[in-house]
Amino acid sequence: MKIGIVGAGALGLYYGALLQRGGQEVRFLLRRDHDAIRDQGLRVTSPAGDFHLEQVQGFRDPAAMGQVDLVLVGLKTFANPHLAELIEPLLGPKTCILTLQNGLGNEELLARLFGAERVLGGIAFLCSNRGAPGVVHHLDQGRIRLGEFRGGHSLRAATLAETFRQAGLECEAVADLCKARWEKLVWNIPFNGLCALTGATTAELLAHGPSRAQVRALMDEVVAAANAQGLSAPIDAGFAERMLRVTEGMGPYRPSMMIDRQEGRPLELEAIYAIPLARAKDKGVEMVRVRLLHALLEVGEKTRD
Amino acid sequence: MKIGIVGAGALGLYYGALLQRGGQEVRFLLRRDHDAIRDQGLRVTSPAGDFHLEQVQGFRDPAAMGQVDLVLVGLKTFANPHLAELIEPLLGPKTCILTLQNGLGNEELLARLFGAERVLGGIAFLCSNRGAPGVVHHLDQGRIRLGEFRGGHSLRAATLAETFRQAGLECEAVADLCKARWEKLVWNIPFNGLCALTGATTAELLAHGPSRAQVRALMDEVVAAANAQGLSAPIDAGFAERMLRVTEGMGPYRPSMMIDRQEGRPLELEAIYAIPLARAKDKGVEMVRVRLLHALLEVGEKTRD
């Protein structure tokens, strides 16, 4: 399968590298890493074993990449206004687009731009960072849950999941992508925002009783909003507590939004906060604490400008 | 009147200087400013006119200050564990203690230490900063509302208010100190915490629609908690909106807690958040947003240690 990686940050580089090692023909759209990868290939460090790809197809210009079977989108959502120009040149008549971006609204945007029938979405549970140019660090996990934007099971979703599994990843195709996205938000909404705002790691938030209680209260708000969305089945009552325990197992983790703020990048506030808040409100659910958190994160963005 | 100033920061230095200029005998307990004031006196800059006191009685040791008629407490509340040793040496049989500290719980502590009959409290509406040693900058306002810890009107409260007015300050004696303290919290709880957490000034918070709405929502929570405390009369429905307009008039103000955080000092979380939250809860009122804000500020303190 020819796969084009659009948004080759820590996520795109890591998954693209695994897919290439697993036998797929991968083409990376690159900026920062272009020259390093051309000269030295792509190096992956991982607790599962480091590896190095000597020959990597890297491009600066999407027009030079040619048509692919699958576009894998790993772009930060604040760059979504560039999606049209970056993806258009890669599309043939049957090209699928799989977005592994954070939050809500990404599949809808891709569907408006390129047609709903092309679009799949996935949720990535991945801890990875970019290293020096040409190097990506895999820290932990990597599991993907993917599904059709229009819902239900499909042969192509099952085939994609199999392709990821052959590359060495845990991957499952799900019928209710919407539920999977909301489940991920139960983690992303509290931890991304609170860590970005306070500068505390996930472990520090959980070690302190009052902030741990607020993480849990934020999770409960998200679960209530999710369960008002008409999911195939509600998120169960024990889900939030399981997420807390999983997070404790991750140690002093720095969520992506915390790293974005520390490194002076914009935050993914639209996809992770504004759209979920609007979808909740549409169903009559006001997420009081989430709205406060969103407003405080936004103020930081305004004063940063 | 002999007045001892305990806690000679921006507030204590400014009020002490005005009282001395107004004819009172003022003795300052000093640390940082001791040598500068001994050598050069105390300089006040102010939009109302700068002035300079050449002879100032400054002390490093409270035991050297002698007994006074009034102890004026301007200490940051995080230093309250030192109140006993700092004030004890200044007390004669009839000495009154007036605390102008922030938040709740200060009068109660002084009453436990030295007897309720000695204690008055006041709310200072003052924008001032410390400058170089021996210099204090008055920026705006200065009004004081003071009253008996035990409530009601008294001759000594009226006399004290008159003393402050003679020094050039707006000052009124109030019968319901508890209400006055909660009214001040309607401002302090949103602005101190939000500015400390986000690094935005009051003007930046108010210029941005979503954060302005959160300031207002926090104010509404505090008003509801206040009005559950059995005040002499409820805080009226227009109070929060008036506070917003007053704050707009203050321009890009940096509340004391924001300055404390920027300068690496502890925050006054107990007096401004923990005790108000507990008093609200005692009356069955849960301040949801205030509790989230408090937890986030506390996390910053924990990770700072």
Read off the pLDDT of residues A145-174 as tens digits, 9 standing for 90 and up. 999 999 999 999 999 999 999 999 999 999
Dihedral of CA B227/A210/B191/A193: which sign? negative
- pLDDT tens, residue by residue, B43-93: 999 999 999 999 999 999 999 999 999 999 999 999 999 999 999 999 999
A209 CB burial (10 A radius; 0-12, 13-18, 19+): exposed
Contacts of B289 in chain A (CB under 8 A): 288-289, 292
Q: Per-residue pLDDT averaged across B272-290, rounded?
A: 98
- pLDDT tens, residue by residue, B212-230: 999 999 999 999 999 999 9
pTM of the model: 0.91
Q: B237 Cβ partners below 8 Å, 6+ apart?
A: none
Q: Is the pLDDT of residue B194 over 90?
A: yes
Determine the Cα–Cα distance for residues A36 and A147; give it in Å rounded to an integer: 34
Write B20-25 long-range contacts (CB < 8 A, 24+).
B20/B53, B20/B56, B21/B51, B21/B53, B21/B167, B21/B168, B22/B163, B22/B166, B22/B167, B22/B168, B23/B166, B24/B163, B24/B167, B25/B1, B25/B57
- CB A233: neighbour CB atoms within 10 A? 8
Q: Do B299 and A217 touch (CB under 8 A)?
A: no
- Going by pLDDT thresholds of 50, 70 and 90, the confidence category of residue A19 is very high
DSSP secondary structure letter of residue B305: -
For residues B69 and B94, the answer to whether their CB atoms sit within 8 Å is yes
Q: Which has the closest alpha carbon to B134: B61, B43, B56, B51?
A: B43
Q: Do B293 and A288 touch (CB under 8 A)?
A: no
Rounded to a whole number of angstroms, the distance from the CA of A77 to the nearest CA of chain B is 21
Contacts of B220 in chain A (CB under 8 A): none
What are the CA-CA distances from residue A301 to residues A38, A103, A304 (Å)?
35, 18, 5
Which of A210, A288, A295 minimises the CB distance to B211?
A: A295
What are the CA-CA distances from residue B45 to residues A85, A304, B245, B257 (Å)?
59, 32, 26, 22
Rounded to a whole number of angstroms, the distance from the CA of B199 to the nearest CA of chain A is 7
Name the residue with tokens 């796969």. Answer: A3
Name the residue with tokens 């639209």. Answer: A270
Determine the Cα–Cα distance for residues B22 and B62; give it in Å rounded to an integer: 23
For residues B137 and B128, the answer to whether their CB atoms sit within 8 Å is yes
Determine the Cα–Cα distance for residues A206 and A292; give it in Å rounded to an integer: 20
Q: Do B288 and A293 touch (CB under 8 A)?
A: no
Q: Do A211 and B299 touch (CB under 8 A)?
A: yes
Q: Which two tokens stand for residue B89?
A: 């040496």
State what percent of residues in chain A have pLDDT above 70.
Answer: 99
For residue A300, what pLDDT is reported? Answer: 85
A303 to chain B: nearest residue by CA?
B200
For residue A293, what pLDDT is reported? Answer: 98
Query: Beta A51-53 vs A68-73: how paired, if at all?
Result: unpaired
Q: What is the ipTM of this complex?
A: 0.87
For residue A267, what pLDDT is reported? Answer: 96
Contacts of B205 in chain A (CB under 8 A): 299
Determine the Cα–Cα distance for residues B245 and B248; give it in Å rounded to an integer: 5
Q: Is the pLDDT of residue B305 over 60?
A: no
For residues B191 and B205, the answer to whether their CB atoms sit within 8 Å is yes
Q: Do A198 and B300 touch (CB under 8 A)?
A: yes
Query: Beta A119-130 vs A135-148: how paired, if at all?
Result: antiparallel
Catalytic residues of B: 184
Determine the Cα–Cα distance for residues B276 and A40; give it in Å rounded to an integer: 60
- If phi > 0 it is left, if psi is from -120 to 50 it is alpha, else beta; for residue A22 that is alpha
Catalytic residues of A: 184
Determine the Cα–Cα distance for residues B52 and B46; give it in Å rounded to an integer: 11
For residue B13, what pLDDT is reported? Answer: 97
Query: Beta A51-53 vs A42-45: how paired, if at all?
Result: antiparallel
Residues B270-301 as b/e (b if ≥16 CB within 10 A, e otherwise) read bbbbbbbbebbeeeebebebbbbbbbbbbbbe
For residue A303, what pLDDT is reported? Answer: 74
A301 to chain B: nearest residue by CA?
B198
For residue A106, what pLDDT is reported? Answer: 98
DSSP secondary structure letter of residue B54: S
Q: Do B208 and A298 touch (CB under 8 A)?
A: yes
Determine the Cα–Cα distance for residues A260 and A257; give it in Å rounded to an integer: 5
Rounded to a whole number of angstroms, the distance from the CA of B210 to the nearest CA of chain A is 5
Rounded to the nearest 5°, which phi and psi values hold at B133? -50, 130
For residue B164, what pLDDT is reported? Answer: 98
Q: Where are the beta strands (DSSP E) in chain A?
A: 2-6, 25-29, 42-45, 51-53, 57-59, 68-73, 91-99, 119-130, 135-148, 171-173
A289 to chain B: nearest residue by CA?
B289
DSSP secondary structure letter of residue B271: I
Q: Is the pLDDT of residue B204 over 90?
A: yes
Contacts of B303 in chain A (CB under 8 A): 198-200, 204
Q: Is the pLDDT of residue A178 over 90?
A: yes
Q: Do A214 and B295 touch (CB under 8 A)?
A: yes
Q: Which has the closest alpha carbon to B255: B302, B197, B304, B168?
A: B197
What rounded mean pLDDT belongs to chain A?
96
For residue A304, what pLDDT is reported? Answer: 65
What domains lie within chain A, and their CATH numbers? 2-175 (3.40.50.720), 179-304 (1.10.1040.10)
- CB A294: neighbour CB atoms within 10 A? 22
For residue A305, what pLDDT is reported? Answer: 55
Contacts of B292 in chain A (CB under 8 A): 214, 217, 289, 292-293
Determine the Cα–Cα distance for residues A31 and A37; give it in Å rounded to an integer: 10
Which of A211, A295, A300 minimises the CB distance to B296?
A: A211
Q: Is the pLDDT of residue B157 over 70?
A: yes
Q: A88 Cβ partners below 8 Å, 6+ apart?
A: A62, A114
SS3 call for A60: coil
